[in-house]
Amino acid sequence: MIDSKYGWRNVKVAMLVRNFSYHGGLELYTYRLVQELLARGLHITVICEKSETNLSHDNLKVIQIKPNKPQANKVRQLDHCIKEFTQAINTHGPFDIVHSQHTAAHHIDVVTFHNHTVSRLNHCGMPLEITLNKLKLLLRPDYIMRDEVDAMLAREARVLLFPSKICKQDFMERFKFQDNRNMASLTVAYPGWQLAEPSSPNGNESSLDDILKTNSIPREKTIVFVGRGYRKKGLDVLLSACLLLKQRNYSFRLLIAGLKEKFLDRWQLNTFDLSKEVHYLGFVKDMEKVYRAGSIIASPSRVEPFGMAVLQAMSYGLVPVVSKIAGVSELLQNDNDALVIENHLDSEELAYKLALLLDQPQQLEAMSKAAQIKAQTISWRGTVDATLNAYQQIFQKKYVF
């Protein structure tokens, strides 16, 4: 419990996460949260399947559960998580707070949902995607199980945390929280963006160097895309917008970090004569080099609970062109530090927004400065404050079911 003299120093928290690492959005969120909670004096026991960090602290324990079998399907993986994480909570406790980072288990107090519900594409996809997604929810065991796990976590946890209001609204619509719980138990804890440690070259940096050397397009005409999801991240819409820019004789370059170029990608670029403008970088660990090469970050996502890459790019002065339905848009000001896309499926609107920045170097420079200033106002401190407020609700029993 919270001691009146020592504050949070005697509070014991179990932090549940599949992979304790700082590579990836959910993983970085958890890692930085653990760091900050340790700095506030809490005792943290991380329960995970795999640990890929060297984090050391007197108040930190890392417990690894029995890993999933490599050949197990997604349904069995989720069943395994529920069993092993729940057992670990009982074995290594008692804890004052059990906090799940969207990890399946029973006996939790707080859950942070990092992904949208499986029904999200029903509301923001193209017509065919909506139809296919509805069929998956009816027929695919892994989709059904994921939906059931989200419902279980939402039902059993006392306080629910979300990375954005948009993600929170998605869960409210899916699970009808207004019918069975106090809305005060639903809290937004925006992520920070600062990395756990400086990035170091260990990816396709040589490929990027070759592109920068052989391509004369300046930084002011370079657009950056970051993500591993082709359609969910809206890369299909971005490529269509690039085709429109090419047809209108714009000079530009698009750097795609996170995806490797496949045969169909190469065929598509050749077919639309975009092979000189569009470059797939694959996995890049040293994202600083990518950000320093660009002036615009395009994020026309269909499904984006938040979008830390946007803030990371803004810290280097890149101007975001971002979907209205992306969580990070809640922290941005249209026409000041960002351009917000009203219709994330409209390549014409996206091309228009990109052209505004390509056409007007003075506006690009002004928005670049504003974006950099905005990024500096957002940190992991806010994430921790929101998390501690959630813990306080548990102790003071303010939640109502």
Alpha-carbon gap, residue 314 to 287, rounded angstroms:
13
pLDDT of residue 158: 93
- What is the arithmetic mean of pLDDT over 343-352? 98
Rounded to the nearest 5 percent, the helix, strand and coil shares of the chain are: 45, 15, 35
3-state secondary structure of 62: strand
pLDDT of residue 377: 96
pLDDT (tens digit per residue) in 301-342 = 999 999 999 999 999 999 999 999 999 999 999 999 999 999
Local confidence band at 63 (pLDDT 50, 70, 90 cut-offs): very high
Local confidence band at 9 (pLDDT 50, 70, 90 cut-offs): confident
pLDDT of residue 400: 44
Stretch among 68-82, 84-98, 312-326, 375-389 having the lowest mean pLDDT: 68-82
Whether residue 198 is predicted with pLDDT greater than 90 in this model: the reply is: no
3-state secondary structure of 7: strand
Maximum Cα interatomic distance, the chain, rounded to a whole number of Å: 69
The dihedral sign for the CA sequence 311, 312, 317, 319:
negative
Local confidence band at 206 (pLDDT 50, 70, 90 cut-offs): low
pLDDT of residue 284: 87
Enumerate residues 6+ apart whose C-beta is below 8 A from 246. Answer: 272, 273, 274, 277
Contact 277, 252 (CB under 8 A): yes
Q: What is the DSSP string of 187-238?
A: EE-------SS-----SSHHHHHHHHHH----GGGEEEEE-S-TTTTTHHHH
Whether residue 1 is predicted with pLDDT greater than 60 in this model: the reply is: no
pLDDT (tens digit per residue) in 275-298 = 999 999 998 888 899 999 999 999
pLDDT of residue 7: 75
- What is the arithmetic mean of pLDDT over 154-182? 92
Hey, what amino acid is at 228?
A: R
Enumerate residues 6+ apart whose C-beta is below 8 A from 149. Answer: 78, 82, 104
pLDDT (tens digit per residue) in 28-41 = 999 999 999 999 99
- What is the arithmetic mean of pLDDT over 168-184? 88
Nearest by Cα to 211 from 115, 270, 109, 282: 282
pLDDT of residue 204: 55
Alpha-carbon gap, residue 293 to 205, rounded angstroms:
12
Contact 108, 90 (CB under 8 A): no
Nearest by Cα to 195 from 375, 388, 330: 375
User: Average model confidence (pLDDT) for the chain?
Assistant: 92
- What is the arithmetic mean of pLDDT over 160-185? 91
- What is the arithmetic mean of pLDDT over 241-254? 97
- What is the arithmetic mean of pLDDT over 270-276? 94
- What is the arithmetic mean of pLDDT over 88-96? 95
Q: Inter-axis angle of helices 74-92 and 141-156, to 10 degrees?
A: 30
The kind and range of the H/E element at 387 are helix 380-396
Alpha-carbon gap, residue 13 to 36, rounded angstroms:
13
Stretch among 88-102, 134-148, 198-212, 286-300 having the lowest mean pLDDT: 198-212
- What is the arithmetic mean of pLDDT over 177-199? 84
Rounded to a whole number of angstroms, the CA Rg of the chain reads: 22
Query: How many other CB atoms are found less than 10 A from the CB of residue 94?
Result: 9
pLDDT of residue 200: 55
pLDDT of residue 142: 95
pTM: 0.93
At residue 63, φ and ψ (nearest 5 deg) are -110, 125
Phi/psi zone of residue 368: left (φ > 0), alpha (ψ -120 to 50 degrees), beta?
Answer: alpha
Domains of the chain in sequence order? 8-192+380-396 (3.40.50.2000), 205-376 (3.40.50.2000)
pLDDT of residue 71: 84
The token duo for 334 is: 């249209």
Higher pLDDT, 205 or 317: 317
Whether residue 222 is predicted with pLDDT greater than 70 in this model: the reply is: yes
Residue 225, strand partner residues: 256
What are the distances in angstroms from CA 242 to CA 220, 269, 350? 16, 10, 9
3-state secondary structure of 263: helix
pLDDT of residue 183: 84
Contact 30, 53 (CB under 8 A): no
Alpha-carbon gap, residue 301 to 341, rounded angstroms:
10
Alpha-carbon gap, residue 109 to 100, rounded angstroms:
8
Contact 57, 38 (CB under 8 A): yes
The kind and range of the H/E element at 282 are strand 278-282
Per cent of the chain over pLDDT 90 is: 82
135 CB-contact burial (10 Å; exposed 0-12 / middle 13-18 / buried 19+): exposed
pLDDT (tens digit per residue) in 144-157 = 999 999 999 999 99
